[in-house]
Amino acid sequence: MGKSGVRTKKAPKAEKVEKVARREAMRKGLFFACWGVFLGFAGMLGVSIIRFAYPRIVWEPSSLFKVGKPDDYKVGGVTVMGDRRVFLIRDEKGFYALSAICTHLGCQPLWEEDNQIFMCPCHGGRFYKNGINFAGPPPRPLPRFFMKFAPDGRMMVDKSKEVKMDFFLKV
């Protein structure tokens, strides 16, 4: 700025008014610029933190997995696959896989061999062997997952595909 910014004693009035107006505009501009930068940065920080909380990659077991050969399972038996959260059941019509996640609040029901029912330990939900809820708080039957044979003759369960109650993997 140098000497141009120094006010002289005999400066004309119009110029003075203009200078004050310019200074006022500058002040306002800086005010909004500062707040704009601050709010913009805060907003960016907020949005990035929310996005940051959603990972791009998760290390989780695949939803498609092999469960062995049909001969490994006896007719009428229920196999609990705790790590996969799946019940594998073989009856006269074939195999079916039920979700081992209670439809009430997500606990894992226990298979009661004596009563031939699934009972959830958290809030007492009960399901028949075919997955239908008949007592307690669960609002829906246990979902049934798609099954197929892998080329090597072993069975596969696909947890990403739900199927209807009449689905059986025939042996």
Partner 1 sequence: MKWVPLGLVRYTFCLGGLSAFFFLICILTGPFLLMYYIPSVDRAWADVQDLSNVVPFGRFLRNVHRWAACLMVVCVPLHMLRVFLQGAYKPPRQLNWLVGVTLLLLTYLMAFTGYLLPWDNEAYWAATVGMTMGENSPIIGAKGPFSILPPDKDIAYMLRGGTILAQPSLTRFFFAHCVALPGAMAGLMGLHFFNIHKAGGMSGPL
CB 8 → partner 1: shortest distance, Å? 50
Structure token digits, residue 14: 């119009």
The least distance separating partner 1 from the CB of residue 142, rounded to whole angstroms, comes to 14
Task: Provide, rounded to whole angstroms, the least separation between the CB of residue 124 and partner 1.
Answer: 13
**Nearest CB to partner 1, comparing residues 83 and 152:** 83
Closer CB to partner 1, 80 or 171, in the complex? 80
Q: Is the dihedral of CA 8, 10, 11, 14 positive or negative?
A: positive
Which spans of this chain sit near partner 1 (rule: CB under 8 A)?
Answer: 53-55, 58-61, 105-107, 122
Q: Choose between 64 and 122: whose C-beta lies nearer to partner 1.
A: 122
Question: Hey, what amino acid is at 67?
Answer: V
Burial of 6 (0-12, 13-18, 19+ CB in 10 A): exposed
Q: Which amino acid is at 66?
A: K
Q: Extract the tokens encoding 93.
A: 């019509």
